[in-house]
């Protein structure tokens, strides 16, 4: 995909619905010229608000439909914006389940202008079923108490810290936002269910004994809608290390008001038990908590209390950094 990007947020109803835009803006701001929001949009990345014409004048090459919603659908009234972007000479990329080329007006506009359409959730790669054979190299997987609790940000922050230390490491993207950020990966939730673990094995191949794959987690074992993709990724990634991610102000599972968030103490054993199917040595090395909705003093108290309670390093990947977790990974690799 050609850069720079214009991030299209549509008219989504909250910040989490625009988490793809936030991820790109937070980790690759230099790739973006701004954001485009329709009336009623309740999300904001902090980038400059631009019209399509203003973005084109600033050199935008690709409009990214930078939203994430349950089911991956695209509202019909967004089509005019996408068509106009194509008419102005931009390519269009999307991480939604609906394919851009299957929208007749979009397909026609792309063909007319010779523009490219990118559906990053889909790949031409063929995957085998998972085998579970032990393979060389080290792997760390981020897992969560719920969806959208910082698994991607934690994995990216761990990768960044390991790179800073000169360690052998790769971030392995498993969702559309991670793919936009790293420009590679596999959207695991678009893989046919029988092949999820095989796709995760393909994504994290045999490597040097001291090389780390930091794997972006998806969904949650405790979320009724997305536990299946979480389990397939857990088995295929064959992690040596797990990091539990949590958002402390959440009262119920995202989109499921009848389903409360489990207590942290009840989350470790199910993940570790499921992971031992393909790696009996898997263990937790830390907890990552998104504290941005807490006051600094409350955040500090929470991180310390969780660390004391479970005897694991507890960090906010953005506010405090992931140094203590990387220390634990280095020790695990050396053992």
Tokens of 255: 């989109």
Return the SS3 of 330: helix
Domain ranges for the chain, please list them: 5-119, 138-334
| Contact present, 143 and 219 (Cβ < 8 Å) | no
Same topology, domains 5-119 and 138-334? Answer is yes
Q: Are strands 241-246 and 252-253 parallel, antiparallel or unpaired?
A: unpaired
d(C-alpha 69, C-alpha 260), whole Å = 20
CB atoms within 10 A of CB 75: 12
User: Smallest Cα–Cα separation from 327: which of 201, 158, 154, 177?
Assistant: 158
Contacts of 193 (CB under 8 A, 6+ apart): 228, 232
Q: From the centroid of its chain, how far is CA 238?
A: 18
Q: Tokens 């269910």 belong to which residue? A: 193
**CATH code, 138-334:** 3.40.50.300
User: CA-to-CA distance for 335 and 320, rounded, in angstroms?
Assistant: 26
Side-chain-facing half-sphere of 161: CA atoms under 13 Å: 20
Q: Closest Cα to residue 293, out of 251, 322, 256, 237? A: 251
Sequential DSSP letters for 33-45: EEEEE-TT-----
Q: Residue-wise pLDDT tens for the chain (335 aa)?
A: 999 999 999 999 888 889 899 999 999 999 999 999 999 999 999 999 999 999 999 999 999 999 987 666 788 999 999 999 999 999 999 988 889 999 999 999 999 999 999 999 888 889 999 999 999 999 999 999 999 999 999 999 999 999 999 999 999 999 999 999 999 999 998 999 999 999 999 999 999 999 999 999 999 999 999 999 999 999 999 999 999 999 999 999 988 999 999 999 999 999 999 999 999 999 999 999 999 999 999 999 999 999 999 999 999 999 999 999 999 999 999 98
Q: Is domain 5-119 classified as CATH 1.20.1440.60? A: no
Instruction: Compute the radius of gyration of the chain from its Cα atoms.
Output: 20
HEC assignment per residue over 257-289: EEEECCCHHHCHHHHHHHHCCCCCCCEEEEEEE
Q: Please return the burial class of 272, using the count of CB atoms within 10 Å of its CB with bins 0-12, 13-18 and 19+.
A: middle
Tell me the whole-structure pTM to 2 decimals: 0.92
The label of the residue with tokens 């803006």 reads 25
Decide: helix, strand or coil at residue 244: strand
């Amino acid at each position: 995909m050609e850069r720079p990007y214009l991030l299209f947020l549509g008219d989504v109803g909250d910040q989490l619905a625009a988490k793809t835009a936030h991820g790109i803006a937070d980790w690759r701001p230099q790739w973006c010229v701004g954001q485009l929001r329709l009336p009623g949009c309740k999300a904001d990345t902090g980038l400059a608000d631009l019209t399509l014409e203003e973005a084109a004048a600033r050199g935008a090459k690709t409009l990214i439909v930078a939203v994430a919603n349950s089911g991956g659908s695209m509202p019909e009234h967004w089509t005019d914006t996408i068509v106009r972007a194509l008419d102005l000479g931009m390519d269009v990329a999307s991480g939604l389940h609906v394919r851009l080329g299957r929208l007749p007006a979009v397909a026609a506009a792309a063909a007319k202008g010779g523009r490219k359409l990118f559906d990053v959730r889909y790949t031409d790669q063929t995957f085998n079923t998972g085998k579970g054979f032990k393979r060389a190299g080290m792997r760390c997987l981020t897992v969560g108490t719920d969806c959208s609790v910082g698994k991607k940000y934690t994995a990216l922050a761990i990768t960044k810290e390991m790179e800073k230390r000169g360690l052998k490491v790769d971030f392995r993207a498993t969702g559309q936002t991670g793919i936009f950020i790293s420009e590679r990966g596999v959207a695991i939730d678009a893989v046919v269910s029988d092949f999820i673990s095989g796709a995760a094995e393909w994504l994290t191949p045999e490597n040097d004994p001291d090389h780390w794959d930091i794997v972006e987690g998806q969904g949650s074992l405790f979320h009724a809608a997305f536990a299946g993709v979480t389990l397939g990724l857990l088995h295929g990634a064959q992690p040596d290390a797990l990091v539990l991610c949590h958002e402390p102000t959440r009262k119920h599972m995202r989109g499921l008001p009848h389903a409360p968030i489990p207590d942290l103490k009840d989350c470790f054993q199910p993940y570790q038990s499921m992971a031992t199917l393909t790696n009996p040595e898997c263990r937790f090395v830390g907890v990552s908590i998104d504290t941005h909705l807490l006051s600094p003093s409350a955040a500090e108290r929470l991180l310390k209390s969780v660390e004391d309670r479970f005897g694991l390093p507890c960090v906010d990947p953005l506010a405090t950094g992931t140094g203590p977790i990387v220390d634990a990974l280095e020790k695990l690799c050396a053992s």
